[in-house]
Chains A and B, each alone.
Chain A
């Protein structure tokens, strides 16, 4: 069974703080993703990585950065948190290759920025 874990389920931070969200997968997947999920907007891709040290911007990268130093770990960084970054953050991973390989999601981190 694929397991994707996220460092926190709930997080409360203050405006301007630096925030780190960690994601770890145990299935040796090449691809990892960070999404945010907001009511009415669905899942929106922030950044993804298809290999160690490789990253690409998703649809809404502004205000975020990422780090992938090891294959199993993908970190999302909010350099200076703002209230509009209050959201549910979901990490996912998938094997390399195409076809019907799905993405496997972590349990999510609900972030509140005050």
Chain B
């Protein structure tokens, strides 16, 4: 089976940095995705990591350590519009149909 853990909620101030951690236990790991989901809307793709290291994309970066079963999503220069839930999802090798398993999501609240 798989176990994916991330904090339920985080609060940060506009302009600050927030780091959302995701730990996972799975056999046959084959990639980790981060999605952003605003309230009442569909999740949208943010990042994908399959090798160890940091992937940077503008204000957002995602890090992966396969040996530790650990990833984080880093949001820099926070803006009010970044208030959303952030979902961590893991894919396994030979998962038919590109099947993902999701964590419970982390709700981030950005305050002025």
Contacts and interface: CB of A to CB of B under 8 A. Distances in A.
Given A100-B31, A102-B48, A50 B43 contact: no
B97 A50 contact: yes
B42 A108 contact: yes
Contacts of B101: 45, 59
B98 A105 contact: no
Interface size class of A (residues with CB under 8 A): 20 to 34
B96 A105 contact: no
Interface in A5-59: 30-31, 33, 35, 40-45, 48-50, 56, 58-59
Nearest to B93: A98
Interface residues of B, number: 25
A18 to B, nearest CB: 26
B97 A31 contact: yes
B84 to A, nearest CB: 14
A104 B30 CA distance: 19
Nearest to B44: A105
A57 to B, nearest CB: 11
Given A96-B98, A103-B100, A108-B41, 10 more contacts: A35-B102, A42-B87, A43-B89, A43-B105, A49-B97, A56-B97, A101-B98, A102-B45, A103-B98, A107-B42
Interface of B: 8, 30-31, 33, 40-45, 48, 50, 87, 89, 91, 96-105
